[in-house]
């Protein structure tokens, strides 16, 4: 998972951990270490997520004109 997460450094992503209350985390992946990754959420706060609990990483979907989609259904 570490090598795959490194592909998304600097990208705005949706991260799906196993034990999240709201279902997903949104933000820009800043750094990936051996066991964790640092995410900067839209409000500018940093979060650390254990890679052992991440099931999916998805680049935030965008419209044809490059703007973020307002509704993301999974």
Only one residue has tokens 């800043």, namely 30
26 domain-assigned: yes
What Å distances lie between residue 56 and 4, 16, 18, 30, 45, CA to CA? 10, 5, 9, 17, 21
- Residue 29: the pLDDT is 95
Instruction: State the CATH number of the domain containing residue 17.
Output: 2.30.30.100
The pTM score is 0.79
- Closest to 15 measured CA to CA, from 31, 44, 37: 37
The answer to whether residue 71 scores a pLDDT higher than 70 is no
Mean pLDDT estimate for the chain? 85
Domain that holds residue 9: 2-59
Number of domains the chain contains? 1
Mean pLDDT of 49-66: 84
Is 73 a domain residue?
no
Residue 70 above 70 pLDDT? Answer: no
For residue 66, tell me if it sits in a domain.
no
In a domain? residue 52: yes
Say which residue the tokens 């940093």 belong to.
46
């Amino acid at each position: 998972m570490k090598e795959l997460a490194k592909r998304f450094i600097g990208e705005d992503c949706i991260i799906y951990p196993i034990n999240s209350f709201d279902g997903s985390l949104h933000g820009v992946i800043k750094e990936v270490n051996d066991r964790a990754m640092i995410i900067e959420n839209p409000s500018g706060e940093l979060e650390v997520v254990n890679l052992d609990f991440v099931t999916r990483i998805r680049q935030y979907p965008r419209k044809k004109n490059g703007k973020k989609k307002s509704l993301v259904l999974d």
